[in-house]
Structure 1
Amino acid sequence: MRRSRFFVFALLAVIATGLFLVLDGCSSEKGKNADVAMKEMFPVINEAYNIIQENTVYQVEGDRLIEGALRGMADTIGDPYSTYLSKEEAASHRESLAGEKLGIGAEITRSGGKYIIVAPVKGSPAEKAGLQPYDEIVRINGEPLGGMTLQDVVKKIKGKEGTTVSLTIYRPDLGKHLELKVMRDVIPVKTVSAELMEERGKKFGYIALTMFGDETAAEWKKATDDMIAGGAEALIIDVRGNPGGYLRAVAKVAGSLLPDDSIFAYMQNAQGQLTPLVVEPSEKFSYDKKLKNIPVVLLQDKGSASASEVLSGALKDLRRGFIIGKVSFGKGTVQDTMELSNGGEMKLTTHKWLTPKETWIHGKGVNVDLESEQDKLFTEHIRFSTEVYAEGDYHEDISYAQKLLVGLGYAVDREDGYFDESTALAVHAFRVDSKIPTENIMDRKFFASLRERVENYRKDKKNDVQLQVAIGYVHHLLSN
């Protein structure tokens, strides 16, 4: 059986051998007795399977019964991070951290029972074929979507590189159906974005990491080289909303910032034994030397979890960086993922990870050095709706819109989802400002314009309160 180490989704492959030795060396007499007892239970499991298959009035495929039993065993542990993954789910998890994805490059959502294109990725096959936001997918290769789940729809659209998928879409703006053929292709997944910024005569690099994936280390290397070459005197690292990823990627990022041979975290097994994790030696270039010495500020929030907490914990404990934002999520456990013969995987929590000062942050998070509240328009999840709401209606879509309207400066008396008179007046004022038909209703045009206004607001870094605090602190450091 091949094993791969996952942290959040996957653990560091470099230390996998050491963990194998720990796991293989942990057998005890108690464990052997448990194995014997389990083997004695196998006939009972087989008996239950046959009874269900032969007697239930509800037809259930045998494979689903087996998967249900596997899922039930994982659920019995009572650990939210220990779970059974079907073959499809396991593939999705692996793909989520891959350096590239195969498909058409479009975000799809389900709204009001319809499958809607949220947005095509810039330069993707979907954009080249002419797909637009709010296009409703009606058929895939001539097959209607009735009864399909969102996962089914996405699965049908995916396929082999170089093949085409035919989509019948309904475009509301035209009021008619269109037939589009989209060529499936490899879509690069970028996890690092960087910008050289200058404030009051001081240059610094802003680098955002959305997760720690396959290509993150290489992307980080290029981004930091560019920042240093451009004259950056400090770095702002943004891991807000970063759910984690491969620990090997964290090791390389941390290794570029910390002295060689630094311990950036510890692994602790069930017996309490600690294994130090040492940063990977950085390449001996002049840029790398500068990177290890320039001031570092890290931005985090409650969405910064697991692998991103390893980075913030290391920078904090080793006094290599100043942390601004909010306390992080607090995930201090490690999952060991093992493949099963049916193509699925069993993901189990097998270790804890601790910071360099041997602190377990699970359920607590990594504390910040300077707390900063974010603008509410940055924390509200952008939703998608094709429904129509008017005064007197009540819905969570209305509550969502009320919150965004308030954030944009419109006067609304309530945010509980009830469409009252003040909401109607705010909607009317917003529609006038957005140059869309001035009705006192929330419809597709209203939600599309609201989304665009909020996205444009977020793009302006001057509206990012936490980033502005970080910029102010960096300027303070460089001015002293």
Structure 2
Amino acid sequence: MRMSRFFLLAAVAAVAGGLVYFILNGKGEGQEPISEQNPIDEAHDLIMERAVHRVGTDELVEGALRGMADVLGDPYSTYLTKEEAAEHEESLSDERVGIGAEITESRGRFIIVAPVRNSPAEKAGILPYDEIVRVDAERVEGRTMKELLRLIKGKEGTSVALTLFRPEEGRHVEVSVKRAAIPQKTVESRLIEQDGYTIGYLGLSMFGEKTAEEWETHTRKMIAGGADAFIIDVRGNPGGYLRSVGKVAGSLLRPGTVFAFMEDADGLKEPLETEAPGDKEYAEKMRRMQAVILQDKGSASASEVLSGALRDNGRAFIIGTVSFGKGTVQETMPLSNGGEMKLSTRKWLTPSGTWIHGKGIQPDLKSDQGPLYGIPSMPVDGRYRPGDYGEDVGYAQRVLGALGYEISRKDGYFDETTEKAVEKFRNDEDLQPGRAMDRDFFRSLRSRITKYQADVKNDEQLQLAIGYMKHALRTGN
């Protein structure tokens, strides 16, 4: 039998094995029935015998399981079917089988954001902004993202045929992509050289199965490269496995340091203490390293455990915005039908005993990003003129406003000020003169966003962290 797993994640997050038996029989082993009338059995029999909409017993059981979790009123407690449980576990694993492409949904269309470097998708010639039209000859129009991904997924080594519409060329493209194991990297790093200081930047996208191993590999590389200090970026990090964040925190804190408390339903608190890395020399160098944490409203759960652990123990200064505020721990437990219950079983508290649920962790130094930095580069297309109204127009208005163009409306109505801003933008970008939003206009708009966000000088929070760290290194504080 699979062991239950503890993890902290801000997405979906729900009772013990034997619930299926309980639902079908109205009682658990050694327990009295819920009522003398056995209402669960009665409801099941009535639906099976008289409901005009026919479903099977398995579907009714799963519906009852979902209902039991929903009654808790906890967004992180839920029932997962066998397929959902496998997908959720895969999302935290160190690799996935697929084609290696990031996909987004825009107005019912599925657009390639970018193929992963050296992935099957890149090798097959798939490009950013390609639209997926068919998968193995099946049209994807009207499907959900989950349904699309299930069509694309398959066994390693098998191939999937994709029909893509390439807007840059105005034509459809047929490609065959062989599925492969795509490594799931959760840590990225680079050295930042400024004013004679070398600062190691470490970005953690989540806390997966191999995050602690990746963390050690990258931090060793940073130390070998002469890093004087670390900037730890957990912006947008939704959480993950508790054991992974514990190992990361343990590399920066002394052995036996409390990095969090677990509190059960009876209020009993259990301290979680760090363990030292096996390499004493590496451990000592890590403990001497000064650190800054970058966080935002997307930093949740396990990433908040890290922020709370390092701040309460005086090991890191936090810059950014208040974090998400998820202070519960979920445990997944297998059921006899192959599904799982994911249930919030504990609260977690910072080393100072603070429960951050619904409140988040406040930064030591608040810093908001510029308006353009948080706007995604959307695969918008089409043609719009003054007087038109739509989501694409509203998106363009927000981008133009963030770029500094005079815009009075951002609700999607193409008014006179939008018309003038579009005309000026087209002139600034050396596009064909005009006042319409068209394919060339949106292409240039995307290019401006991409270039802006790719320049780290425009990352105001990161620049503030670099400045703070240089001051700390210079003054020894």
- Specify if TM > 0.5: yes
* C-alpha distance in structure 1 between counterparts of 2:54 and 2:379, whole Å: 37
Equivalent residues of 1:229, 1:287 under 8 A apart: no
1:161–1:49 Cα change, 3 Å: same
The root-mean-square deviation of aligned C-alpha atoms, in Å, is 2.3
Give the corresponding residue for 1:409. 404
For 1:135, the aligned partner's letter is D
Q: Secondary structure at the match of 1:165?
A: strand
Q: Is 1:385 aligned to residue 380 of structure 2?
A: yes
Q: Deviations over 1:351-381 (max 9, x none)?
A: 0011111111111111221111221222234
**1:39-438 pair list within 5 angstroms:** 43-438=38-433
* Residues 112 and 387, structure 1, Cα contact 8 Å, conserved in 2: no
Tell me: CA distance 1:112–1:469, structure 2 relative to 1, closer, same or farther (3 Å): closer
SS, match of residue 251 in structure 2? helix
- Residues 58-81 of structure 1: CA distance to partner in whole angstroms, max 9, x if unpaired? 343443333222111111111111
Letter in 2 for 1:329: F
Question: Does structure 2 conserve the Cα–Cα contact (< 8 Å) formed by 1:112 and 1:386?
Answer: no
CA deviations on 1:412-458 (whole Å, 9 max, x unpaired) are 22222221122122223333444555543334443343233212211
Mapped partners of 1:51, 1:437: distance in 2? 68
Q: Which of 302-311 and 422-431 deviates more?
A: 422-431
2:239 and 2:148 map into 1 onto residues whose CA distance is 27
Give the superposition deviation at 1:118: 2.5
Query: Residues 110, 328 of structure 1: CA spacing in aligned structure 2 closer, same or farther, 3 A cutoff?
Result: closer
Where in structure 1 are there 5+ consecutive unaligned residues?
A: 11-19, 21-30
Length-normalised TM-score, structure 2: 0.90
**3-state DSSP of counterpart to 1:402:** helix
Corresponding residue for 1:24?
none
- Distance, in Å, in 1 between the alignment partners of 2:60 and 2:172 is 41
User: 1:432–1:473: structure 2 CA closer, same or farther, 3 Å change rule?
Assistant: same
| Cα distance change of structure 1 residues 114 and 359 upon mapping to structure 2, 3 Å threshold | closer
SS of 1:257's equivalent in the other structure is coil
Matching residue's letter, 2:34: M
Provide TM-score, normalisation by structure 1: 0.90
> Among residues 34, 38, 47, which one is paired with 1:38 in the alignment?
34
**Other-structure match for 1:7:** 7
Contact 1:9 1:93 in 2 (8 A): no
Q: 1:302 to 1:34 in 2, by over 3 A?
A: farther
Q: Identity percentage over the alignment?
A: 57
CA-CA distance at 1:473 after TM superposition: 0.8
Structure with the higher helix share, 1 or 2: 1
1:208 Cα deviation from its structure 2 partner: 0.9
Instruction: Tell me the secondary structure at the aligned position of residue 366 of structure 1.
Output: coil
Quick check: 93-102 or 136-145, which moved more?
A: 136-145
Q: What secondary structure is seen at the aligned counterpart in 2 of 1:376?
A: coil
Aligned residue for 2:34, secondary structure, equals helix
Cα deviation, residue 470, structure 1: 0.9
Partner of 1:28: none
Instruction: Tell me the amino acid that sits aligned with residue 112 of structure 2.
Output: I
User: Hey, what does 1:464 align to over in structure 2?
Assistant: 459
How many Å separate the matches in 1 of 2:333 and 2:162? 37
Indicate if the aligned counterparts of 1:212 and 1:250 stay in contact, CA closer than 8 A.
yes
Distance 1:406 1:147, change over 3 A: closer
What is the Cα deviation at residue 92 of structure 1? Answer: 2.0
